[in-house]
Amino acid sequence: MCVGNVIARFGCWSFLKGGFVLDCPSSYAQLYFQRSDGATLNILISSVSLQPFTYRQWRKNQQDMIDKERKCTATIHISNVQGERMPRASIIVKQVSRDFPLGSAISKAILGNPTYQKWFKERFNTAAFEDELKWYSTEPQQGKVNYTVPDQMLEFTRANQIITRGHNIFWEDPKYNPWWVRNLTGPDLKSAVNNRIKSLLNKYKNEFIHWDVSNEMLHYDFYEQRLGTNTSLEFFQTAQQLDPLAKLFMNDYNVVETCNDMTSTVDSYISKLRDLEQGGIFMDGIGLEGHFTVPNPPLIRAVLDKLATLKLPIWLTEVDISKNLDKETQARYLEMVLREGFLHPGVNGIMLWTALHPDGCYQMCLTDNNFDNLPTGDIVDNLLKEWQTRVVHGETDEHGTFSFSGFLGEYKATVKFGNRTANSIFTLYRGDETRHIYVHL
């Protein structure tokens, strides 16, 4: 079992953090260190720490972190316009929107499908287009660019006040480039990529909160092989110039899913960020795809802890569980991943890769084609309910105040005293201080 990895360099200390889950009780564990290439290893090890947790302790820690990072205490002060306190005024507080972006990919199947649209907007505040922005979708034949479908999908997200990630401008994996792009070289390829990025970002400037600029660049280098080692850097520079308000992300897989892939270790990710920084590009965010088979929660937390030291927003961008597992196991593993992502202070958003098509989903669906929940859908609905503040009823104390703790987001308070009523809209946001809201009757 791989429990962690690090790129160790000669003559300096490297920090390795990881973890594992035992399927059965044990009083003995043995850690082995090995090189990924199998060569002889000669290292010094210092400050080894192995901290055990029971399942109950881990869950309590999860809940404590959620309460600390995703909730805030508020005190509502009720008075008349002269500032005189009003004890025993009745208060109803309702959360009207969530601060934390939790969403899903959508496909063009949502267009003209009111049932799919209703199901989606009742749950999610964030979306990504699974395929419809990718180059092979918008320009399947050279020179014939068509944005009709993403335009229509944006109309849906705009109409329902759903923020949307831009996925993606380029994809470094050769097989996910248009067939005609794979046949281009030299100046012809350079011209094509310039046309692509300018067309896309001029068309959609200020529409998307993020851009995945050069997808999976830890694993593949289609463009750099053909156009030179600075090509990815030029992509980011151009994107920054054309859509300066969008946050630019690296996006890759097997960073958080496993430690067996030495191509996409945390250190490899950080090294790529540093390379871009040397070229003048300071990344706006860290994209971790999250295509899991068997999640390892302690490893997930260790990876997030290490990446969080960069002080950049982390998003889990394409979360799903392998279709090779049964649906109950998918659901159980999905809950593990979502809880670890939601509790971590460095994670600013989670996207599920669960766009529904007539023939199913990429790896994992939340519902069947009739929009009846699968076990994974039940998990998502239950967590959405758990992470939403229930309607709060109360009355002010002798000081004219009422306090409560709620999940971050926007709230509406309705206050009544005698025949007088007042409403107040306020926001609970991140921070250690109690939020104070003043309402006049």
Annotated catalytic residue: which of 172, 318, 335, 340? Answer: 318
Q: Is 419 in contact with 436 (CB distance < 8 Å)?
A: no
Look at residue 36 and give its three-state secondary structure.
coil
Any catalytic annotation for residue 318?
yes
Quote the CA–CA distance of 224 and 229 in Å, as a whole number. 5
Q: Which residues contact 109 (CB under 8 A, 6 or more apart)?
A: 116, 355, 356, 357, 358
Q: What is the CA radius of gyration of the chain?
A: 25
Look at residue 349 and give its three-state secondary structure.
strand
Instruction: Give the pair of three-digit tokens for residue 89.
Output: 């005024």
Q: Which residues contact 252 (CB under 8 A, 6 or more apart)?
A: 215, 216, 217, 218, 219, 264, 269, 287, 288, 289
Q: Which residues contact 263 (CB under 8 A, 6 or more apart)?
A: 218, 219, 254
Any catalytic annotation for residue 84?
no
- Listing DSSP states for 148-168 in one string gives HHHHHHHHHHHHTT-EEEEEE
Q: Is 370 in contact with 336 (CB distance < 8 Å)?
A: no
| Adjacent-strand bridge partners of 87 | none
Annotated catalytic residue: which of 130, 216, 234, 335? Answer: 216
- Give me the active site residues, please: 216, 318
